[in-house]
Structure formats: C-alpha cells, structure tokens
Amino acid sequence: MDSLQSFLAKLQSQNPKYMAQWTPQQIQGEFREARFFVIPQIENPQALALVRSFPGEPGKGDVTFIAVAKTYQGQGLGRELFKQICEGGFSDLTVEVHADNEAGKAFYLALGFEPSGRRPNYYGPTKDALLFRYQVPAG
C-alpha cells in the first residue's frame, strides 16, 4: 500500500494543474475510504484510480482520482482502469473535471460519460468544475 501512496503522490506531481494536491494524511485517508484500482500491479503501478462508494447505494461511485503515469498515457490504460471499475461493481459513476482539462474531458466523453453539470469557481476563482456521469446502459 505504501508503494501505491507514493505512486499517487508522483502522479500528482506530474499533473500539478489538475490533480488535487492532497497532504500525505489526506492520501492515507483516501486509501482508507475509497476503493482503488491499479494497473498492472501494486508492486509496479502505471495507472491508478480511486472510487468512493455511497452507503446504501450499491453500484454508485464517485471517481475521486484517476491518472496514468506520463510515459504510459495514450496506450489504453485509462480505458482499462475504467473497465476494472465497472467490473468491480460500479454501474453509476460521477466525476469532477477541471473545465480546462481538455484531455480529461475527451477521456470521459470517449468512455461514454455525459456532461451533467458545472460548479462555478469550484477549484478557485474562475476555475470551474465540470461534472460528468456514466450509467451502464440498461439491458
């Protein structure tokens, strides 16, 4: 678990503009509270996602963190993480993205997420968050 926590800190430092800069205590808390998904394995992580669930609402989740190490981006690892999350039992997912994170927005749209709202000044003055939602198609 320590290796995953330092990997998360590394991913944040690679993406200072769009990744929440959690303190080490907050990172520990996030790993306690959220389910994590990692590719390809904990000992040698290349991509990581954290998803919080909602008590009493099975299938529902909020993606609080998802990132692929820079050298592995554009090779399908993000899509693979998403597949793992769905296979892990999540069928109704929400996520917040910086409004100017073009790669993040394109990524979620490519996965089938749909825009579901906007939170003005969420990340700071004039830094809006866009909300996206994915629901497994019925049937």
Ligand X SMILES: CC(C)(COP(=O)(O)OP(=O)(O)OC[C@H]1O[C@@H](n2cnc3c(N)ncnc32)[C@H](O)[C@@H]1OP(=O)(O)O)[C@@H](O)C(=O)NCCC(=O)NCCS
| Nearer to ligand X (CB atom), residue 31 or residue 72 | 72
Q: What track of x and - describes contact with ligand X for positions 34 through 63 (by CB under 6 A)?
A: ------------------------------
DSSP per residue, 93-127 = EEEEEETT-HHHHHHHHHHT-EEEEEEEEEEETTE
Nearest-10 Cα torsion for 68, 71, 77, 79: 70
| 66 belongs to the binding site for ligand X (CB under 6 A) | yes
| Nearer to ligand X (CB atom), residue 61 or residue 78 | 78
Q: Are 59 and 17 in contact (CB under 8 A)?
A: no
The one among 27, 48, 67, 93 contacting ligand X by CB under 6 A: 67
| Nearer to ligand X (CB atom), residue 106 or residue 136 | 106
Q: Counting every residue, how long is the chain?
A: 139
| 103 belongs to the binding site for ligand X (CB under 6 A) | yes
Residue with the two structure tokens 């609080």: 64
Q: Is the peptide bond before 40 cis (omega within 30 degrees of 0)?
A: yes
* Residue numbers at the binding site for ligand X (CB under 6 A): 15, 18-19, 66-68, 73-79, 97, 101, 103-104, 106-107, 110
